[in-house]
Chain A
């Protein structure tokens, strides 16, 4: 068994950002919302590790608190995506032929819709919030999960052991639980980590555009948007939220790739 570097770094990065998010619930160096005009745009120092923003708020505290918003969004999206996507996918594969075809077409249509565009429409109508962002992102990612799941389940349903289970008079629920779910588990984990990274990028983008998480809840996207106005005075403030987004997304991407390598035996490189 050779070392799986992707998995290792992925787990490290995801664990790191989760720890940060948990930590922020208990403790941040300063109150992330505390305004202090005297120390506006302070340079990084021991008292303010990453400096302060234009209102004198501690950047490091905001970064910590922002990770909470980000990871909660990711978690909700993954939960909704997986439950919606997997049920639709399995349901479509098990249903009669005509329904299966309709499902394929509907999934294709949802997949073609530009998700962020619909998040924008949703935000226009219901007002921007983390919730509307989560719903819009989830619907888009759920369609992708449903498509992959349906395909894989279709293959499994034609396998000999499912036929054998049917011959033994197993009902459909039992077949799904005993034979289908364990076999698509690997792919589901991979897709969940993919959905998480899509969710983080989309949420920060929507917040940056002012259509996602609303103030005063700290969010990386909005931190970037506000720092953009002071680029000439203090470009460094724009650096931190961006790096935070990159490393969290990278973590989930590597986790997905690593899981693929670890769980799919055909992809395992032979020792050469």
Chain B
């Protein structure tokens, strides 16, 4: 009886969370769509310039379906987008979805590498600072994390380039091998500095959560029991602390996914990496509106999807977290 209750509870939670996911997806794409319709003139005008002939304008309008009503245009665009078709670039005519997939081969490894680095460093550092709570070493680490949160990502990138590329010349200052992942060592090499740059801010942030989660573990009965069996604080923490501090840290990392993706845009700009972010900034500067729309919608969808997945996972693991929605 109780088991079915809990299952029902979980299904309800997932359903509510899924509604939020779909709702935010529709709202966000509507927002991007409407923002781009606020352009002075319209897309055809923006594409052809003010001196375009009325015939050419009319033809472009038909081509991009601009004569339909706003709602119909949106529904059409959303329907296509859901089936993976984001339309074509209004300047080059290239398939937007295809371009995003191509550029993702740079952006996704960058984000993945940065997340792994962040987790690998944040948890031990946070635990160490919790073990030395209110001692000089622990306070020192907390102070560094306070500083780390205040440092702008792009500045870290510039400083790392100064040290490792300009001064010691051991790592490339930017760029990405033209051959792509077929020369994977070159790719990894050019992702090292960007990934560290992206990870540092996250480490500073996640460390604080790892620290407070560990402090909580230290006060639990099971921790005292573990200590009483003869384990040292460090050993007991390795058994109980890692797993228990992993849950809040991973959920924070999930919430941070938006920050990570935006950070990736900045880091790609600093290191001239040909990823999604760099493409977006270029499209903004040449005013390729359909492509900006497609890229922003796809990126936002990715953010929403990841946070939905993480919430679903946490809801599955921890019934308490279901109450918040």
Contacts and interface: CB of A to CB of B under 8 A. Distances in A.
A117 B299 contact: yes
Contacts of A221: 152, 154
Interface string A181-212: 00000000000000001000100110011110
A143 to B, nearest CB: 12
Interface size class of B (residues with CB under 8 A): 35 or more
Interface in A54-90: none
B238 interface: no
A167 B284 CA distance: 58
A109 B23 contact: yes
Contact of B292 (A114, A124, A209, A232): A124
B17 to A, nearest CB: 10
A125 B35 contact: yes
Q: What 8 A-B pairs come out closest when comparing CB atoms? A: A242-B155, A249-B150, A250-B150, A124-B284, A114-B258, A109-B24, A116-B262, A235-B162
Interface string B126-166: 00000000000000000000110111111100110110001
A70 B289 CA distance: 29
Contact of A117 (B147, B173, B300, B304): B300
Contacts of A263: none
Interface string A232-254: 10010011011001110110011
Contacts of A239: 159
Chain B at the A interface: mostly helix, strand, loop or mixed? Answer: helix
Nearest to B270: A228
B217 interface: no
A107 to B, nearest CB: 11
B300 A224 contact: no
A29 B262 CA distance: 37
B303 interface: yes
A121 B293 CA distance: 8
Given A114-B303, A209-B269, A250-B150, A242 B159 contact: yes
Interface residues of A, number: 44
Residue with the highest number of chain A CB atoms closer than 10 Å, among B32, B149, B155, B161:
B155
B44 to A, nearest CB: 16
Contact of A246 (B23, B151, B287): B151
B269 A113 contact: no
Residue with the highest number of chain B CB atoms closer than 10 Å, among A113, A114, A116, A247:
A114
Interface string B271-315: 000000000110111010100100010011001100100000000
